[in-house]
Amino acid sequence: MINSHLGREGDRKKAMELGAKDFIIRGIVPPKEVVQRVLQVVGAGEYQLYICKDKGEVKKFANDLGLKEDLTCPECQGDLFLKIVQKKNGQLTANVFCSSCGKIY
């Protein structure tokens, strides 16, 4: 999270490219909004989970999503993981992604 006096779009874009989760312009964003935005970033959990291939309904999961049954990446053969994000309200969202090339399925 970046707190900067620089307010140009290029500055914000560069910060986000470097991995910042938010870019706050000092003196422009009101303190109350700063607090809300900090809580949004630190309050959200993100988990990258390995999918155990021989337990549960992994084959059905792979078939339903059009993935290979061994849950490897068709592009690079890397293992596919589940990325789960918990929002502040507790809601979970999930994506399947390749741990090697980063492609999202």
Residue 100 CB, nearest approach to Zn ion (Å): 5
Residue 105 CB, nearest approach to Zn ion (Å): 9
In the structure encoding, which two tokens stand for residue 16, read together? 């986000």
CA atoms within 13 A on the CB side of 32: 0
C-beta closer to Zn ion: residue 72 or 86: 72
Residues that bind Zn ion (CB under 5 A): 73, 75-76, 78, 98, 100-101
Q: How far apart, in whole angstroms, are the C-alpha atoms of residue 31 and residue 44?
A: 20
C-beta closer to Zn ion: residue 16 or 76: 76
Q: How far apart, in whole angstroms, are the C-alpha atoms of residue 89 and residue 52?
A: 28
Cβ neighbourhood burial of 99 (10 Å; 0-12, 13-18, 19+): middle
C-beta closer to Zn ion: residue 15 or 62: 62
C-beta closer to Zn ion: residue 35 or 50: 50
Q: How far apart, in whole angstroms, are the C-alpha atoms of residue 105 and residue 103?
A: 7
Residue 70 CB, nearest approach to Zn ion (Å): 13
Residue 66 CB, nearest approach to Zn ion (Å): 15
